[in-house]
């Protein structure tokens, strides 16, 4: 029987099919042009690694509702489905799944950052001690 690939690795590969994933330096550049940088790391991960300057912190469990302008629970920055969103996590895995989910609800410009905050730090980009711009 020929079954579709299953498991998290297959889901990750499918999620990345349509993403134009960005490097940390590309992420900085699109942020300067108005893209929303959305950090989905846990509070503990942010304490350990630092906060990304200018990023909005949105818990993964409510990400779609906060960024879908039609949800009734969206943040003010979620003005329409044309907004550019770059999702960032610790290593760049869960952010790919999250970006694919955002694309599935119409946020066609959603993507993520390759390597996550670990790659950001390796590139020598700045982090802060906070406070973070947490959106609940």
CATH number, domain of 72, equals 3.40.250.10
DSSP 36-90: EEEE---HHHHHHH-BPTTPEEE-GGGHHHHH-TTSSS--TT--STT--EEEE-S
Q: Is residue 109 part of a domain?
A: yes
Tens-of-pLDDT digits for all 136 residues of the chain? Answer: 456 678 999 999 999 999 999 999 999 999 999 999 999 999 999 999 999 999 999 999 999 999 999 999 999 999 999 999 999 999 999 999 999 999 999 999 999 999 999 999 999 999 999 899 999 9
In a domain, 89, yes or no: yes
The reply to whether 65 falls in a domain is yes
| Per-residue pLDDT reduced to its tens digit, 48-73 | 999 999 999 999 999 999 999 999 99
Q: Is residue 1 part of a domain?
A: no
Residue-number span of the structural domain to which 87 is assigned: 21-135
Model pLDDT, residue 5: 73
Look-up: residue for tokens 């950001």?
120
Number of domains in the chain: 1
- Is 11 within a domain? no
Q: Flag whether 8 is in a domain.
A: no
- The answer to whether residue 33 sits within a structural domain is yes
Q: What is the CA radius of gyration of the chain?
A: 15
Cis peptide preceding 131, ω within 30 of 0 = yes
Tell me, yes or no, whether 7 lies in a domain.
no
């Amino acid at each position: 029987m020929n079954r579709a690939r299953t498991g998290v690795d297959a889901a990750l590969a499918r999620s990345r099919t349509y993403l134009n994933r960005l490097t940390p330096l590309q992420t900085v550049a699109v942020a300067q042009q108005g893209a929303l940088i959305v950090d989905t790391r846990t509070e503990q991960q942010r304490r350990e690694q630092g906060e990304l300057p200018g990023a909005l912190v949105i818990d993964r469990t409510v990400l779609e509702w906060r960024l879908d302008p039609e949800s009734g629970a969206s943040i003010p920055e979620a003005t329409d489905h044309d907004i550019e969103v770059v999702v960032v996590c610790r290593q760049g895995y869960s952010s790919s799944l999250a970006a694919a989910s955002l694309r599935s609800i119409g946020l066609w410009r959603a993507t993520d950052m390759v390597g996550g905050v670990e790659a950001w730090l390796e590139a020598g980009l700045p982090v802060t001690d906070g406070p973070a711009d947490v959106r609940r």
